[in-house]
Chains A and B, each alone.
Chain A
Amino acid sequence: MTTTVQVDFRTRLQNWIPKLVLAPSLGVIMVFVYGFIVYTVYLSFTNSKILPSYDLVGMANYTKLFQLPAWTLAITNLAIFASLYIVISTAIGLTLAIFLDQKIRGEGVLRPIFLYPMALSFIVTGTAWKWLLDPGIGIEHTMHLWGWASFHFDWIKNSKYAIYTVVLAAVWQTSGFVMAMFLAGLRGIDNEILKAAQIDGASNWNLYWRIIIPQLRPAFLSSFVILSHLAIKSYDLIIALTGGGPGRSTELPATFMYSYTFTRNEMGVGAASAVIMLMTIAAIMIPYLYAELKEVK
C-alpha cells in the first residue's frame, strides 16, 4: 500500500548493504594487520626479551640494531637479492611469454611445466636446490661423472656467491608465474594494431619494443608487486637452501627478524627490524598504490 515508504526504506537499505558487506573485512584488517603493526612499533621501543614486556626504553633497540654487523649484511643481501630476483624473473618471464606466444606446438604441455614450481612450498624448493647445487653430490659431481672434469660450480659453498644461488632458486620458483602474467597480457593485445604496423613495414623487433611491451605495463606492475613482496618476505627459502650460511652470508632481513624475535630472545630488537622492514615495504608500495588508485575510475 505505502509504496513510497517501502521504496524509501529499500533504497536506504540498499545504500547501507555495500558498506555492511565490506565492514567485516575492513574490521578484521584494521585489527589483525594495522592494529598488530601498531603493536609491533610499540614493542620496538620496549625491552621485550622472551615475551612482550611493556617497559619503554626509547630508541635503544634501533641503536643496537644498526650496530649489529649482521643487520647491515642482511640489508645489503636484500638489496642484491631483490634487485636481481625481480629483474631476472621479469626478463625470463617476459621472454618465455613472448616465445610461447608464437603459435608454439605443445604450448599446453610447456605452460604447466613452467608454472608448477609456484605450487611447491619454498621448503621443498630449497631442499631440492640444496642438493642440486652441492658440489659433492649435485650438478658438479654429475658433470664430473660424465667426463667434464673441469666443470666447477660451488657457489653455494662460497660466502661471496651463495646469495646468488638463492636468486637462482627463487627465480626458478616464480619466473613461470611471471610468464603466465605476461602471456595473459600478450593475449589481450589487439591484433589489428599489429597488422596495421606490419603493413607499414615495422620489423618484429620494433613491433615488440614500440607497441607490444609498452602495452604490457599493467602486467609489469602486477609482477613487480608480487615479486617484491615475495622478495621481502623470503624466509623459508633461505632456511631450507642455505640456512643463512656459509657463516651468516645469506642472512636476509626476514631471517634476521625471526631469529632475533624467536631464537635469540631479543624481541625488542626483532620488532625494531620488523618496523624497518615495514617502512621499506611502505616506501615501495605506496607509490604503486597511488598509481593504481588514480588510474581506475
Chain B
Amino acid sequence: MRGNFGKTTALVMALTATASMAHAEDVEVLHWWTSGGEAAALNVLKQDLAAKDIGWKDMPVAGGGGEAAMTVLRARVTSGNPPTAVQMLGFDITDWAKQGVLANLDSVAKEGNWDAVVPTALQKFSKYDGHWVAAPVDVHSTNWVWANKKVLDGLGIAQPKTWDEFVAALQKVKDAGKVALAMGGQPWQESTMFDGVVLSTGGPDFYKKAFIDLDPEALGSDTMVEAFKRMETLHSFVDPNFSGRDWNLASAMVIKGDAAFQMMGDWAKGEFLRAKMVPGTDFMCFRTPGTAGDVTFNSDQFAMFKVKNPAAQAAQDEMAKAIMSPGFQSSFNVVKGSVPARTDVSDAAFDACGKMAMQQLKDAAANGTLLGSMAHGHADVASVKNAIYDVVTANFNGEYDAKQAAAELVKAVALAQ
C-alpha cells in the first residue's frame, strides 16, 4: 500500500513537476551516473531504500566526470538547500568537509564496523578530522592495460611483463600495420595513462613523493623526465586522430581488433563485456607493465550533507547503511566494472578481471601500495590536479619536451598550491 503510494507520488511528481510533494523521509541524491548500466545499478539502491519507505529524489547532472554536478552543488549549498547525498571523488570530499557542511556518520559507521572493512587508503577520503562523512561505493583503479587477445595471438605477442617488453610489443603491432595503442587525447585520459607510467617508472615510493607529497625535487627529478620520455614513446604508438576522441571509442578500436592495447581505468571493462567479449579468451586485462602489486585507485563515494530535521537524518543514515551493505556493494560493482569498497565482500559474482582486481586491492591495501590516483583527484586537490593535467597534456601534444615538462611541472604545482 505504502509502496504503491510512493510510486504514485513519483509519477505525479514527474507529471506535474511539483517539488511540494516531497515528504520528510526522502533522500535527494546528486550524481552523474546517467549511462545505462550505472544508472540501473543505482536503481538497486533506490529500491533498497523504497523497501524501507524512503523516497528517492533523483538529481542527475552528467558531464566532465562530475564537473557539472560540482557546479550545481555549489549553487545548492550557497542557496542553503544542499542535497542529502552527493556523489563525490577524493579531495572534493575533504574540501567540502572543511566548509563544515557535511554530516557526521560515526554512529552508522560504528554499527557497521566500517573502520575494519574499508581500506585505510580509502578512509582518508571518507573521513574528515576523524569522523565519517561519506560512504564509499566502489573502488576503480587506473593502472590497467586492456588488450585484444586475438590481435596479440596473431602477432605472437605474450602479455608484456616489463616496460621494455611492453614497448617491444607496441612496436611489433605498429610494424604489422595496426594501431598499437588506442587512445583518446583528452587531458584526463592522458593523465590516467600518466598515473601508470609514473608508477612504473619510479615505483610506489616515487609516485607517493611526487604526486601525494608534491615534493618539488621528485617532480623535477630525472625519474620524472624519464616518465615524460615514456609518455613520448607512447605518443609514437597512437594513431594521428587520437586527439579529442572519447575513451570508449578507443576501447571500440581494441574490441574490433583495429588496435591492440588501451591504457585506461577499469570502467573500460564494461565496453568489452557489452561487446560479448570474455576476459581471458577474447580480451586481456593486466596491470600497466612494471606496476604489479601496486594499485592507483579512485573511489566514488556518497558524501552526506547536513540536513535539518531528524526524519531526514534518519533517512540519510539508512541510505549510508544501504550503500555499505555487502549485497549492494557486490551488485553495483559487478555492473560498474569496479570492485567493492569493502574488502570483505564475496567475489563470486565477479568476472575473472574483477576477481583479480579484488585480490590485488586487498594485497595492495595490506602492503601499503594502494595509492590515490593523481588523474582522478585522489592524490591532490583539484587545483593541483588540473595544473598537472596542463603539463601532461602539453607534453603529450608535443608542446614541451620531457625536460621542459618536468621543469614546468614543478612551477605549475607550486603556483597551484
Q: Do chains A and B touch in the complex (CB under 8 A)?
A: yes
By the criterion CB–CB under 8 Å, are B390 and A248 in contact? yes
Interface: B240 (CB within 8 A): yes
Determine if A135 and B240 form an interchain contact, defined as CB atoms under 8 angstroms apart. Answer: yes
Contact of B390 among A50, A70, A156, A239 (CB under 8 A): A70
Task: Give complex CA distance A233, B70 in Å.
Answer: 21
Interface check B186, CB cutoff 8 A: yes
A265-B382 contact given A49-B95, A157-B241, CB 8 Å threshold: yes
* Beyond A157-B243, A263-B71, 16 extra complex contacts between A and B, CB < 8 Å: A50-B74, A50-B95, A51-B77, A51-B99, A134-B245, A135-B240, A157-B244, A242-B244, A247-B393, A262-B71, A263-B67, A263-B382, A264-B416, A265-B381, A265-B383, A266-B416
- A135–B242 Cα distance when bound, in Å, is 10
Q: In the docked arrangement, what's the CA distance between A152 and B51, Å?
A: 59
Q: Count of A-B contacts with CB under 8 A? A: 85
Residue of B nearest to A251 (CB): B390
Known: A154-B240, A157-B243. A262 touches B386 (CB 8 A): no
B386 touches A263 (CB 8 A): yes
Query: How far apart are A85's CB and chain B's nearest CB, in angstroms?
Result: 20
Selected from A49, A243, A247, the residue in CB contact (under 8 A) with B397 is A247
Please name all residues of chain A whose beta carbon is closer than 8 Å to the beta carbon of B393 when the two chains form the complex: 245-248
Contact of B394 among A51, A242, A248, A259 (CB under 8 A): A248
> What string of 1s and 0s marks CB contacts (under 8 Å) between A62-92 and chain B?
0010011010000000000000000000000
| Residues on A with beta carbons closer than 8 Å to the beta carbon of B71 | 262-263
Chain B positions 164-199 with a Cβ under 8 Å from a chain A Cβ: 185-187
In the complex, chain B residues 345-383 whose Cβ is within 8 Å of any chain A Cβ: 381-383
26 contacts between A and B (CB under 8 A): A50-B99, A52-B78, A68-B415, A134-B241, A135-B240, A154-B241, A157-B240, A157-B242, A157-B243, A244-B187, A245-B243, A245-B397, A246-B243, A246-B244, A247-B187, A247-B393, A247-B394, A247-B399, A248-B393, A249-B397, A262-B71, A263-B67, A263-B71, A265-B95, A265-B382, A266-B416
Task: Report B-chain residues with C-beta under 8 Å of the C-beta of A244.
Answer: 187
A64 touches B415 (CB 8 A): yes
Interface size range of chain A in the complex: 20 to 34
A262 and B96 CA atoms in complex are apart in Å by 13
Q: Do residues A263 and B70 form an inter-chain contact, with CB atoms below 8 A? A: yes
Interface check A159, CB cutoff 8 A = yes
A128-146 residues with Cβ-Cβ distance < 8 A to B are 130, 134-136
0 or 1 for each of A249-263: is its CB under 8 Å from B? (1 = yes): 100000000010011
Q: A135 and B241 in contact (CB under 8 A), knowing A64-B415, A245-B186, A259-B386?
A: yes
Q: Mark B223-245, 1 if CB is under 8 A from A, else 0.
A: 00000000000000001111111
Out of B78, B241, B242, B383, which one reaches A264, CB within 8 Å?
B383
Residue-by-residue, is B393-408 near A (CB-CB < 8 Å gives 1, otherwise 0)? 1101111000000000
Kindly list chain A residues whose C-beta atoms are within 8 Å of the C-beta of B386. 259, 263-264
B64 contacts the other chain (CB 8 A): yes
Nearest chain A CB to B115 CB, angstrom units: 27
Cβ–Cβ < 8 Å partners of A136 in chain B = 239, 241
With both beta carbons as reference points, the residue of chain A lying nearest to B188 in the complex is identified as: A243
**Contact of A159 (CB < 8 Å), options: B186, B383, B390, B399:** B399
Binding site for A on B (CB under 8 A): 64, 67, 70-71, 74, 77-78, 95-96, 98-99, 185-187, 239-245, 381-383, 386, 390, 393-394, 396-399, 415-416
Q: Using Cβ atoms and an 8 Å threshold, which residues of chain B touch A266?
A: 383, 416
**Residues of B with C-beta under 8 A to A51:** 74, 77-78, 99
B74 touches A243 (CB 8 A): no
* Cα separation A49 to B95 with both chains bound (whole Å): 9
B397 and A159 form a contact (CB under 8 A): yes
Name B244's closest neighbour in chain A (CB-CB).
Answer: A245
A67 CA / B387 CA spacing, docked (Å): 13
Chain A residues near B390 (CB, 8 Å)? 70, 248
Measured between beta carbons, the chain A residues less than 8 angstroms from B241 are 134-136, 154, 157
Residues in B with CB closer than 8 Å to A248 are: 187, 390, 393-394
CB A258 to nearest CB in B, in angstroms, measures 8
- In the bound complex, residues from chain B placing their C-beta under 8 Å from that of A67 are 415
Type the 1/0 row for A32-59, where 1 means its CB is closer than 8 Å to any CB of B.
0000000000000000011110000000
Q: Which 10 A-B pairs have the closest CB atoms?
A: A247-B397, A136-B241, A246-B243, A157-B243, A262-B71, A247-B393, A265-B382, A264-B383, A263-B67, A264-B386
From residue A40, how far is it (CB to closest CB) to chain B in Å? 14
Known: A49-B95, A51-B77, A263-B382. A246 touches B397 (CB 8 A): yes
Q: Are B244 and A262 in contact (CB under 8 A)?
A: no
A156 to B243, CA, bound (A): 8
Neighbouring B residues of A243 by C-beta, 8 Å: 186, 244
Distance in angstroms from A268 CB to nearest chain B CB is 11
By a CB distance below 8 angstroms, the chain A residues around B240 are 135, 154, 157
Chain A residue at minimum C-beta to C-beta distance from B96? A50
Per the bound structure, the CA–CA distance linking A49 and B98 in Å amounts to 11
